[in-house]
Amino acid sequence: MRTLYHPNVIEITLPTVLYALSDPIRLNIIQILDEKGEQSCSSIDISAPKSTLSHHFKVLRESGVIHTRIEGTQRFISIRYDDLNERFPSLLSAVLTGLKR
C-alpha cells in the first residue's frame, strides 16, 4: 500500500493553505468536517464526481489542512486544527467563522 504525503508542521506554508482554502468545494469540505468531525471520504455529501472530490481531498491533505487516515479500504479525513493553529494562529477559526455568516 502506498503512503500518503502529509507535510510536517514546519512544512505547512501560508500560500499553500490559502490556495487550498480558495476553492468553494474545499471550503465546503472543511465546513462539513468542522461540523461533524472526522468523516470517511465516501460520507462527504457533495455533488461532484468522485475523481473531483479525490483531487480536492489531495489538495487539502498536501497543503496540511486535513489528515487522511486509512483503515482497511476506507479513508477517514479530519482537520489538522492543532498544526494549523500552531503555524497560523486564528486563521482557521477566522475562515470557519466567515463560512457561518
Alpha carbon of residue 62 to chain centroid: 9
Q: Which three cell numbers stand for residue 17?
A: 493553505
Instruction: For 12-40, write each residue's pLDDT tens digit.
Output: 999 999 999 999 999 999 999 999 999 99
45 belongs to a structural domain: yes
Query: Given this model, what pLDDT does residue 2 score?
Result: 72
- Whole-model pTM? 0.94
Residue with cell 508542521: 9
91 belongs to a structural domain: yes
Look up the CATH number of the domain holding residue 75.
1.10.10.10
Query: Given this model, what pLDDT does residue 101 score?
Result: 80
Query: Given this model, what pLDDT does residue 12 score?
Result: 97
**Boundaries of domain holding 20:** 11-100
**Count of domains forming the chain:** 1
Instruction: For 58-98, write each residue's pLDDT tens digit.
Output: 999 999 999 999 999 999 999 999 999 999 999 999 999 99
Residue 32: exposure state from Cβ atoms within 10 A (0-12, 13-18, ≥19) = middle
Alpha carbon of residue 12 to chain centroid: 13
